Amino acid sequence: DAGITQSPRHKVTETGTPVTLRCHQTENHRYMYWYRQDPGHGLRLIHYSYGVKDTDKGEVSDGYSVSRSKTEDFLLTLESATSSQTSVYFCAISWTSEGEQYFGPGTRLTVT
């Protein structure tokens, strides 16, 4: 496996609280992605980054923000968590935008 870790691996939080998920890579890949996976929807792209401080929105970005201050770290923040954001969140990395993507182990987030 590519060196990708996600933290925390599990989190339960209350509606309205801010939450930050962290993705850390040791592979020096340029591109990093945040996805969410929900039954019946497949994986959906939230945000991605194509370099330090360079980020862009995916298809389901409302309610989420990201930051990338270092090559190895990509943070996903839920400013005010809602129950609809209960999901499994995956981070992925790739060398190029068309290259093979490698995934982290996921974070299971429950918003009560």
Partner 1 sequence: KQEVTQIPAALSVPEGENLVLNCSFTDSAIYNLQWFRQDPGKGLTSLLLIQSSQREQTSGRLNASLDKSSGRSTLYIAASQPGDSATYLCAVRVNAGNNRKLIWGLGTSLAVNP
89 is an interface residue for partner 1 by CB under 8 A:
no
Quick one: which of 45, 65, 75, 95 contacts partner 1 (CB under 8 A)?
A: 45
34 is an interface residue for partner 1 by CB under 8 A:
no
Task: For residue 98, give Cα distances in angstroms to 30, 85, 94, 101.
Answer: 12, 28, 8, 9
> Both tokens of residue 13?
């939080």
How many residues form the binding site for partner 1 (CB under 8 A)?
Answer: 23
Q: Is the dihedral of CA 9, 93, 69, 15 positive or negative?
A: negative
Q: Which stretch binds partner 1 (CB under 8 A): 16-24, 38-46, 63-71, 72-80?
A: 38-46
